Amino acid sequence: MNTATATEPNQWLAEEDERTAFRDYSTPEIERVRQFYRTNHIHQTYDFVLQKKKQWLAFNQRTMTPWAALDYLNTLVDESDPDINLPQISHLLQTAEAIRADGHPDWFVLTGFIHDLGKVLCLFGEPQWSVVGDTFPVGCRHSDKIVFPEFFALNPDHSNPQYDTPCGVYTAGCGLGNIHMSWGHDEYLYHLLKDCLPEPALYMIRYHSFYAWHREGQYTQLTDATDRANLHWVQKFNPYDLYSKNPNPPVLSELKPYYEDLMAKYLPAELQL
């Protein structure tokens, strides 16, 4: 395990005074992100999510090795990301190396390296607005702490009284595992790997884009004791995911053997996607 301590600077993480520049949705050049969320918020309805789960959680598209799926991400730039325009594999490597530099367990490092692997859905024809971006519960009232909340006025569920309450179709304290989140790579990858990784890793994967919960403290009426116990893991993961973004990523060819061995330790040789 890496012996870095909390007092040593992590070369892959932004300094505290630089972090306010991340997730800044107010600059004029972020219009592409604004339009992304407009489409996302209009179409991510309760019925849409149920349909997507039925379609994609059958895992009947194709068989790929984990590395082949990661190679695909070299062709993908996340339209929802206001911070950087790098292929996804670069972001994953930055995240994982920042985690490794702080001496965390290898399963935590692996989680950083594969947490966006579910974006392989774009390979199968899914538009980015139903794959990437911040996630939120469907089937209950939309929080005004979700990015660009004004666009929910255009969502058909927004004016449906069945969904326009804090709990909507759910019961208080039912647990996040019993609600439906907006469809995307997080939920897809969670189901794909739920038998492979420790519970904290699965929470990081499933809810790392759920900023309204882990950053803004929203939707606590739906959480249970297991969610509350794992919230700190999602929050621990977030700085590595967000603040490791920079235009100078690690060199993949130099690190590939380490990550090949790490994936072989925890993941099946082939993924049924």
- pLDDT tens, position by position, 152-165: 999 999 999 999 99
Higher pLDDT, 88 or 115: 115
Task: Examine the pLDDT at 12 and tell me if it is beyond 50.
Answer: no
Q: What is the mean pLDDT of the chain?
A: 87
DSSP states of the chain: -----TTS--TTS--GGGGGGTT---SGGGHHHHHHHHHHHHH--HHHHHHHHHHHTT--S-EE-HHHHHHHGGG---TT-SS----HHHHHHHHHHHHHHTT--HHHHHHHHHTTGGGGGGGGT--GGGTSS---EESSPPPTTSSSGGGGGGSGGGG-TTT-SSSTTS-TT--GGGSEEPPSHHHHHHHHHTTTS-HHHHHHHHHTT-HHHHTT---GGG--HHHHHHHHHHHHHHHHHHHT--SS---HHHHHHHHHHHHHHHS-SSEE-
Residue 34 lies in a domain: yes
The answer to whether residue 171 is domain-embedded is yes
Q: What is the pLDDT of residues 68-92, one digit of tens each?
A: 998 887 776 655 554 455 667 888 8
Tell me whether residue 16 is in a domain: no
| This prediction's pTM | 0.86
Looking at the structure of the chain, the number of domains it has is 1
With a pLDDT cut of 90, the percent of the chain lying above it is 71
What's the pLDDT tens digit per position in 16-53?
544 444 444 455 457 888 999 999 999 999 999 999 99
% of the chain beyond a pLDDT of 70: 83
Residue, of 20 and 150, whose pLDDT is higher: 150
Q: Do the domain assignments include residue 189?
A: yes
In this prediction, residue 4 carries a pLDDT of 43
User: Which residue's entry shows tokens 């899914």?
Assistant: 126
Residue 55 within a domain: yes
CB-side exposure of 112: number of CA atoms within 13 Å?
30
Mean pLDDT of 245-263: 84
Report the first-to-last Cα separation within the chain, whole angstroms: 32
- pLDDT score at 225: 98
